[in-house]
């Protein structure tokens, strides 16, 4: 199978034009092959998570970004389904409120960074502050422009303190988004997921694409790379994310800690 990590990564310093990426692309992978591979990845992720938890010396942070209906919830549900809940922390970042508004924009993010031994998953993240804040002019341009460097410094600090970071942009087409919105309207079990504000946000599609491209260019680093995941096909999205997370955990060369005592000398009466 093609090396999806190498194919989908945004090389540090490179310019990524989303218009050159097919959101329905599957890179030659069939759904049948993807389903089989996903099953193996999930089994392996369960083992690797246990190793991460046992070693308790490092953490993994998975950041999911994407336009509305891009599949962030679905990715968490299908890719992380086999993990032990004790070792996973999922944080969804919505509009700041209360105490969050009385601190800098990274304060609530840092609070949610997983402790060593755990996997943290961000459903949206600190990148909202160079996406929504930019598109809707919530802060002046000089302010959000400085945030790219601040975010890179923040992520470098986390990396240097044993937090491995993976960032995924779930990329769907505007037509696919409309299709998913219609499903939410027509399916009573999905009505709760739809908001009229979602339709209003579609008016800013082009502005968001520009903001995403700048985010990818300025904030894909060696310590915390971005991956653009073609996400029109949910099965390919799930495969790609699971493949990259699995490969990253394997590359960490996780080890069980040594016993605290000489087990050979332990006897039971």
Domain count, the chain: 1
Q: Is residue 220 part of a domain?
A: yes
What pLDDT was estimated at residue 175?
Answer: 97
What pLDDT was estimated at residue 259?
Answer: 82
Question: Contact 152/127 with Cβ under 8 angstroms?
Answer: no
What pLDDT was estimated at residue 193?
Answer: 85
Q: Is residue 267 part of a domain?
A: no
- For the stretch 27-56, pLDDT in tens is 999 999 999 999 999 999 999 999 999 999
What pLDDT was estimated at residue 210?
Answer: 98
Strand partners, 227: 9, 168
Q: Is residue 261 part of a domain?
A: no
What pLDDT was estimated at residue 195?
Answer: 86
Lookup: tokens for 222: 């060696």
CA gap 54, 17 in Å, rounded: 41
Q: Is residue 177 part of a domain?
A: yes
Backbone angles phi, psi at 228, to 5 degrees: -95, 115
Lookup: tokens for 262: 């000489």
CA gap 259, 237 in Å, rounded: 40
226, 231, 136, 131: which is closest to 177 by C-alpha?
A: 231
* Residue at token pair 């490092």: 58
Full residue range of the structural domain in which residue 182 is found: 4-253
Q: Residue 237: which CATH number? A: 3.40.50.300
Backbone angles phi, psi at 95, to 5 degrees: -60, 130
What pLDDT was estimated at residue 170?
Answer: 98
Strand partners, 64: 123, 168
CA gap 201, 186 in Å, rounded: 20
pLDDT digits (tens), the chain, 269 positions = 569 999 999 999 999 999 999 999 999 999 999 999 999 999 999 999 999 999 999 999 999 999 999 999 999 999 998 899 999 999 999 999 999 999 999 999 999 999 999 999 999 999 999 999 999 999 999 999 999 999 999 999 999 999 999 999 999 999 999 999 999 999 888 898 888 888 999 999 999 999 999 999 999 999 999 999 999 999 999 999 999 999 999 999 999 998 877 777 788 87
Q: Is residue 268 part of a domain?
A: no
Distances 135 to 15, 44, 128, 166, 222 between C-alpha atoms, Å = 20, 40, 10, 24, 27
Q: Is residue 244 part of a domain?
A: yes
29, 1, 46: which is closest to 230 by C-alpha?
A: 29
Q: Is residue 195 part of a domain?
A: yes
**Cα atoms in the Cβ-side hemisphere of radius 13 Å centred on 239:** 25
Q: Is residue 201 part of a domain?
A: yes
């Amino acid at each position: 199978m093609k090396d999806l990590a190498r194919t989908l990564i945004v090389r540090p310093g490179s310019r990524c034009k989303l218009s050159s990426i097919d959101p329905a692309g599957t890179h030659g992978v069939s759904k049948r092959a993807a389903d089989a591979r996903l099953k193996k990845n999930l089994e392996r992720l369960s083992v690797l998570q246990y190793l991460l938890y046992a070693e308790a010396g490092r953490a993994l942070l998975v950041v999911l970004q994407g336009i509305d209906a891009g599949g962030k919830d679905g990715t968490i549900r299908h890719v992380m389904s086999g993990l032990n809940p004790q070792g996973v922390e999922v944080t969804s970042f919505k509009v700041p409120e209360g105490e969050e508004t009385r601190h800098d924009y990274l304060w609530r993010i840092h609070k949610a960074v997983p402790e060593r031994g755990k996997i943290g998953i961000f459903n949206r993240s600190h990148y909202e502050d160079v996406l929504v804040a930019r598109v809707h002019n919530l802060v002046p341009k000089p302010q959000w422009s400085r945030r790219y460097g601040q975010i890179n410094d923040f992520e470098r600090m986390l990396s240097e303190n044993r937090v491995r970071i993976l960032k995924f942009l779930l990329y769907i087409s505007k037509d696919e988004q409309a299709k998913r919105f219609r499903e939410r309207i027509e399916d009573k079990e999905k009505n709760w997921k739809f908001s009229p504000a979602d339709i209003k946000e579609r008016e800013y599609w082009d502005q968001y694409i520009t903001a995403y491209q700048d985010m990818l260019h300025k904030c894909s680093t060696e310590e915390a790379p971005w991956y653009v995941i073609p996400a029109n096909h949910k099965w390919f999205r799930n495969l790609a994310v699971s493949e990259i997370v699995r490969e990253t955990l394997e590359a960490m060369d996780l080890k069980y800690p040594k016993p605290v005592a000489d087990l050979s000398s332990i006897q039971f009466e």
